[in-house]
Amino acid sequence: MAANSIQEQLMKGYDEKHDYDGLSGERVASRLAELSAIGRTIENGSNRPGFSLEEKQAKEKVSAWMRQAGLAVYQDGAGNIFGRLSGKSDYLPSIVSGSHVDSVPNGGHFDGPLGVLSALEVVEAWKDTGYQPEKPFEVVIFSDEEGARFNGGFNGSEGMLGLGNMEEKLLLRDALGMSFEEVLHDVGLSVAGYEKAKRNLDEIEMFVEVHIEQGKRLEKENLPCGIVTGIAGPCWLDFTFDGKAGHAGNTPMNDRHDALVAASEFILEINKLPRQISESAVATVGKLDVKPNGVNVIPGKVTLSVDIRDIYKETRDELVERVIALGSVIAKKHDVLVGSVENMRVNPVPIKEEIQLAFEKSFRAKGIRPYKLPSGAGHDAMIVGGELPIAMLFVQSKDGISHNPDEWSDLNDCVQSIHVLKHFIESLQPHG
- DSSP letters along 97-123, please? EEEE----TTB-SSTTHHHHHHHHHHH
Compute CA 29 distance to the chain's CA centroid, rounded to the nearest angstrom.
Answer: 22
pLDDT of residue 350: 92
Is residue 196 assigned to a domain? yes
Q: Which amino acid is at 379?
A: H
Domain end residue (candidates: 294, 317, 345): 345
Is residue 354 assigned to a domain? yes
pLDDT of residue 432: 46
146 labeled part of a ligand binding site: yes
Domain shared by 15 and 154, yes or no: yes
Q: Please report, for the domain that includes residue 327, its CATH number.
A: 3.30.70.360
Mean pLDDT of 14-19: 98
Q: Please report, for the domain that includes residue 210, its CATH number.
A: 3.40.630.10
100 labeled part of a ligand binding site: yes
Is the Cβ–Cβ distance between 386 and 158 less than 8 Å? Answer: no
Is residue 432 assigned to a domain? no
Contacts of 105 (CB under 8 A, 6+ apart): 41, 45, 47, 49, 148
Which of 57-66, 132-141, 228-237 comes out lowest in average pLDDT? 228-237
211 labeled part of a ligand binding site: yes
Phi, psi of 71 (to 5 degrees): -90, 145
Taking alpha carbons only, the member of 297, 214, 187 closest to residue 250 is 297
Polymer length in residues for the chain? 432
Contacts of 72 (CB under 8 A, 6+ apart): 83, 84, 85, 86
Taking alpha carbons only, the member of 419, 348, 372 closest to residue 227 is 372
| Banded model confidence at residue 3, pLDDT cuts 50, 70, 90 | low
Q: Which amino acid is at 30?
A: S
Domain shared by 216 and 237, yes or no: no
CA gyration radius for the chain? Answer: 24
- CA–CA gap between residue 163 and residue 165 (Å, rounded): 7
pLDDT tens column, 393-422: 999 999 999 999 999 999 999 999 999 999
